[in-house]
A and B are shown apart, each in its own frame.
Chain A
Amino acid sequence: MTWLPGGGERRWAIAIVLALAALAPLPLAGPRDDVLNFVFLVLLSITLAQSWNIVAGYAGQVNLGHAAFFGLGALLTRALWTSGAPVVLAMLAGALLATAFALLIGVAAFRLRGAYFAIGTLALGEILRTTVSNVLPEISTLPAASIASYRLAHRYYLALILAAVSVLAVAVLASSRLGLGMRAIREDEAAAEASGVGALGLKLIALALSTGLAGLAGGLFAYYHISYYPAHPFGPQWTFDALLMTFIGGVGTLHGPVLGAVLYVLLKEYLAVRWVDFHLLIFGALFIAIVLLLPGGLVQAAARARRLVTPAR
Chain B
Amino acid sequence: MSILAQQLVLGLLIGGLYGLAASGLSLIFGVMKVLNVAHGELIMLGGYGAFWLVALLGLDPFLTLALVIPGALLLGVGLYWGLFGFVVRADEETRVKNSLLIGFGLALALHALAVRLWTADERSVPTPYGGAVFTVGPLSIPAVRLLSLAIAFALILTLQLLLTRWRWGKAIRATAEDWQAALLTGIDVRRAYLLAFAMGTALAGAAGTLVTIGYSVSPSIGLEWTLKALIVVVLAGLGSMLGTFVGGLVLGVAEAASAAAFGGPYREVIGLVIFVVVLVVRPRGLFGR
A residues whose Cβ falls under 8 Å from a Cβ of B = 62, 108-109, 111-116, 118-120, 122-124, 126-127, 130-131, 133-134, 236, 240, 243-244, 247, 275-278, 280-281, 283-288, 291-292
Contacts and interface: CB of A to CB of B under 8 A. Distances in A.
B155 to A, nearest CB: 25
A247 B97 CA distance: 14
Contacts, number: 110
Given A112-B280, A114-B97, A281 B104 contact: no
B100 A126 contact: no
B166 interface: no
Contacts of A133: 265
- By DSSP majority rule, is chain A's interface helix, strand, loop, or mixed? helix
A130 B276 contact: no
Contact of B104 (A116, A120, A240): A240
Nearest to A286: B105
Given A114-B97, A115-B97, A124-B276, A291 B102 contact: yes
Given A240-B104, A281-B112, A134 B280 contact: no
A261 B55 CA distance: 42
A115 B100 contact: yes
B86 interface: yes
Given A127-B273, A236-B223, A280-B112, 5 more contacts: A120-B280, A123-B276, A124-B276, A134-B263, A134-B265
A268 to B, nearest CB: 12
A118 B100 contact: yes
A195 B111 CA distance: 44
Contacts of A131: 266, 269
A280 B108 contact: yes
B180 to A, nearest CB: 22
Interface in B251-268: 263, 265-266, 268
Contact of B108 (A116, A118, A122, A284): A284
Contacts of B280: 108-109, 111-112, 120
B283 interface: yes
15 contacts: A112-B280, A116-B279, A118-B100, A119-B37, A120-B276, A124-B276, A127-B276, A133-B265, A236-B223, A277-B116, A278-B116, A280-B108, A281-B112, A287-B101, A291-B105
B83 interface: yes
5 pairs of A and B residues whose beta carbons are closest in the complex: A284-B109, A284-B108, A287-B105, A281-B112, A134-B265
B156 interface: no
Contact of A283 (B108, B230, B269, B279): B108
A270 B93 CA distance: 38
Contacts of A124: 272, 276
Contacts of B88: none
A127 B279 CA distance: 15
A244 B107 CA distance: 13
B96 A114 contact: yes
Given A62-B100, A288-B105, A280 B279 contact: no
B276 A291 contact: no
Contacts of B37: 119
B98 interface: yes
B206 interface: no
A123 B272 CA distance: 6
A277 B115 contact: yes
B219 to A, nearest CB: 9
B21 interface: no
B109 A285 contact: yes
Contacts of B197: none
A291 B101 contact: yes
Nearest to A134: B265
Nearest to A126: B272
A127 B93 CA distance: 27
B150 interface: no
Given A275-B116, A281-B112, A284-B106, A126 B227 contact: yes
B101 A62 contact: yes
A234 B108 CA distance: 18
B115 A276 contact: yes
Chain B CB within 10 A, most for which of A109, A276, A284, A292: A284
A124 B251 CA distance: 17
B116 A284 contact: no
B218 to A, nearest CB: 13
B35 interface: yes
B105 A285 contact: yes
A284 B105 contact: yes
B283 A116 contact: yes
B275 interface: yes
A281 B112 CA distance: 5
Contacts of A284: 105-110, 112
A131 B268 CA distance: 9
Nearest to B92: A114
Contacts of A112: 279-280, 283
B113 interface: yes
Contacts of A120: 275-276, 279-280
B227 A288 contact: no
Interface string B112-151: 1101100000000000000000000000000000000000
A277 B112 contact: yes
